[in-house]
A and B are shown apart, each in its own frame.
Chain A
Amino acid sequence: AQSVAQPEDQVNVAEGNPLTVKCTYSVSGNPYLFWYVQYPNRGLQFLLKYITGDNLVKGSYGFEAEFNKSQTSFHLKKPSALVSDSALYFCAVRDYGSSNTCKLIFGQGTTLQVKP
């Protein structure tokens, strides 16, 4: 069965420092991977996705993610964190039984706290 794990409930970084939010996955074939962000009292917003191609994927708001097949990871990164990046981040993988619907399986979420 497909699954995705976010091993950290919370990540704390200082503004201006690089940030990494970790995600590992388990799928039976080639994965379709996603990152979403949720600001307080809002719905989820798409950040970026990996379908195929370059292992480094660039997305919205200066975020990028690195796909590592050997480590089955898809960590979210940003070179210089902003206080406004503080939010809840979700990693997701597409359910392989859903070629025509894009059902997603979400991780439990990681709270990113960026301090001034």
Chain B
Amino acid sequence: NAGVTQTPKFQVLKTGQSMTLQCAQDMNHNSMYWYRQDPGMGLRLIYYSASEGTTDKGEVPNGYNVSRLNKREFSLRLESAAPSQTSVYFCASVRTGNNEQFFGPGTRLTVL
């Protein structure tokens, strides 16, 4: 099992550009999450998907959109990147009833 994979690992954007962060899991988990990590602030939830076909906002959803393409894949889109979105982005998944989240390796995004 590859677990949770994320692409790309690194990305530099200019203000106003768009991009999509990809996440996939091969553990047949129902729920998937997108977090951002900023120094001194821990991880903050951007969006989550409780199951295939559903998505909901987390703590900091502004400026982002998501798509739960199928049970395996959950993508995060920045339509018009801003410097405030410079961060490390983590995807995670969990099997319903287990409570243990599995995290991907992260995407380091810089917006100039």
Contacts and interface: CB of A to CB of B under 8 A. Distances in A.
A35 to B, nearest CB: 11
Contacts of B101: 44, 46, 102, 104
A46 B42 contact: no
B45 interface: yes
* B: interface residue count bin: 20 to 34
A103 B40 CA distance: 20
Contact of A46 (B41, B45, B96, B100): B100
Interface residues of A, number: 23
B103 A109 contact: no
Interface of A: 9, 32, 34, 36, 41-46, 49, 51, 90, 94, 100-104, 106-109
A90 B42 contact: yes
A68 B98 CA distance: 23
A82 to B, nearest CB: 22
Interface string B78-108: 0000000000001010101011111111100
Given A43-B90, A101-B48, A101-B50, A106 B43 contact: yes
